[in-house]
Amino acid sequence: MASKESKNLSNEKVHEVVDASDSEANYDHSAPQGEALKRTMKNRHIAMISIGGVIGTGLFLGTATALHNGGPVGLLLGYAAIGSICFAVMVSLGEMISYLPVPGGHITMAERFVDSAWSFTLGWNYWYNWTIILPAELSAGAVLIGFWTQKVNDAAWITIFLVVVIVINMFGARAYGEAEFIFASIKVITITGLIILGIVLDLGGGPSHDRLGFRYWKHPGPFNQFNGISGSEGRFLGWWAVMTQAAFSFIGTEIVAIAAGEVRNPRRNIPKAIRRVYVRILLFYIGGVTIIGLLVPYNHPDLDLSSTAAGSPFVIAIKTAGIKGLPSVINAALLTSAWSAASSDMYTSSRALYGLAVNGNAPRIFARTNRWGLPWVSVSFSAAFGLLAYMAVSSGAGRVFGWFANMTSVAGLMSWFGISVTYVRFYAGMKAQGIDRRTLPFRAPLQPYLGWYGVVSTIIICFFSGWSVFLKGKWASDTFVTNYLPLALFPILYFGARFWRRSRFIDAADMDFKSGLAEVEAASYEEPPPNNWVEKVWAWLM
């Protein structure tokens, strides 16, 4: 017992030493003394963020549109395809960030393994993505409140949500981790309960005792003919429409990398968090859409008609089965999802801005932190963009804001593209410098092929993301611009930065694999083994 206590005390002293200094972090553009993040996020925080951090309205509500477009099999295949891309990107990112869990995540990785212009482009693209999504989530929360009452102006709810999100983030990474632990737990419990309930309803366990089985796979059918186009062409387009929607549901899994610089015992907790991608993709997304396809026909009139719980396929199935009261419970869960997403958006955008400043790609003031390790300037600046949520209250301004929000989807996919390119360079650098990948804390399978799969697949999806406007009679200028402007801006930013800085690709033999490594190793340690089965279960979960 005394030995265990002394070991824990020793670990705490290691944390104090690591938090108090940043002696190994003075590489290139790194933060100087007094401008460093601190590792205050616990095991359970990063574990729950990795499991349920990005489960949100995309899965609860967005699947309604996807089911309507593709049918049950098109829905399943679309999510499975995007899930495979998400897996490829995350394990590639996981290999890099487990080895060097430094502030800035993949933005800093791009600085080291590609070039400074790539880091500049990836960082600002990523910051824009999460900064604009913040007011969108705040607006979504106000819309969800409308499920219960329309008497209060949406601006009042937006104000309440924004204040709470700012307070959570101003208390630092540990407060964000605690809040996200609670929010993510609610989301995980909700989606797990809905999947179990869906199985029961499908097997005839509801009040109506109607056994559904695979009824809707036969009638109206496994695929929808998109836009009334007959034959295999219509089915293929329906599946592709699911692909683009599903991609937007998966965006955000890379938040683990951004949090890497504030996680305790990173060499243990980051690999464990990355491995939970399997659970999230297979159980929640693939399992969830499979159940949805069994419960609701793709031609149901209530699909794609509401932004509240009323439009959720799960709620439609519950109402059809004759169960009362649950829609309000689900709407409450959706509200916590929007709140959780807004908090994550502010956290991610502020750390992305901090990473940009640390790497010399943003004004130095954004790297400023207080004595608790909070990048308060970056948080304050990113929080100010939350005020854009009030644009959604006005119909005219709301339309303009909708254009900004739509562009974040393609920007998120371009972030995946940037991460995959960075990994391909990382792999080449390790090979050139003779570093054995078997020594890494986390080693991804099937590399570098998964990295290349991420590069090619993400750019293809982005290129064809706005294909529907080219159908006869479907042209929409705003849809075309919001889909293709972010795609065009990415190379403009990159080549513009490269020309301005006169930068060049970093040779594989010259890549920096060592700076900051001593700090990471000092912050990592062997945790004491569990003493009983309760501790074993907790250790397995967290």
Cβ distance 542 to 273 under 8 Å?
no
pTM of the model: 0.84
Cβ distance 69 to 249 under 8 Å?
no
Quote the DSSP letter at residue 282: I
Which pairs count as long-range contacts for 205-210, CB under 8 Å and 24+ apart, including other chains?
A: 206/321, 206/322, 206/323, 207/321, 207/322, 207/323, 208/320, 208/321, 208/322, 210/321
* Cross-strand partners of 263: 41
In the three-class reduction of DSSP (H, G, I as helix; E, B as strand; rest coil), residue 263 is classed as strand
Cβ distance 59 to 285 under 8 Å?
yes
**φ and ψ at residue 263, rounded to 5 degrees:** -100, 135
Question: How many CB atoms within 10 Å of residue 451?
Answer: 26
Q: Which of 90, 78, 58 is nearest to 187 (CA)?
A: 58
In the three-class reduction of DSSP (H, G, I as helix; E, B as strand; rest coil), residue 41 is classed as strand
* Encoded amino acid at 162, one letter: L
Cβ distance 94 to 320 under 8 Å?
no
CA-CA distance, 24 to 31, in Å (whole number)?
Answer: 10
Domains of the chain: 43-501 (1.20.1740.10)
3-state secondary structure 322-374: CCCCHHHHHHHHHHHHHHHHHHHHHHHHHHHHHHHHHCCCCCHHHHCCCCCCC
The length of the chain, given as a count of residues: 542
CA-CA distance, 505 to 393, in Å (whole number)?
Answer: 46
* Residue 498, token pair as written in the block: 């490269």
Cβ distance 182 to 339 under 8 Å?
no
Sign of CA dihedral 77, 79, 80, 84: positive
* Cross-strand partners of 41: 263
Strands (E), 210-330: none
**What tens-digit pLDDT sequence spans the chain (542 residues)?**
434 334 343 343 334 333 333 333 333 444 443 457 667 667 777 777 777 666 766 777 778 888 888 889 999 999 999 989 989 998 999 899 888 887 778 888 898 899 989 999 999 998 988 888 888 888 878 777 877 877 788 888 888 889 999 998 888 878 888 888 888 888 888 888 888 988 998 888 878 788 888 888 988 888 888 877 888 888 888 888 888 778 877 887 777 777 776 777 777 778 877 877 777 777 888 888 999 899 889 888 877 665 566 677 888 888 888 887 777 888 888 888 888 888 888 888 888 898 888 888 888 898 888 877 888 899 999 999 888 888 777 765 556 656 776 777 788 889 999 999 999 999 999 999 998 888 888 888 888 999 999 999 999 998 888 887 888 777 888 778 888 888 889 999 999 999 988 888 889 898 988 887 777 777 666 666 666 666 566 666 55
CA-CA distance, 384 to 367, in Å (whole number)?
Answer: 17
Rg of the chain, C-alpha, whole Å = 23
Q: Which of 501, 462, 503 is nearest to 484 (CA)?
A: 462
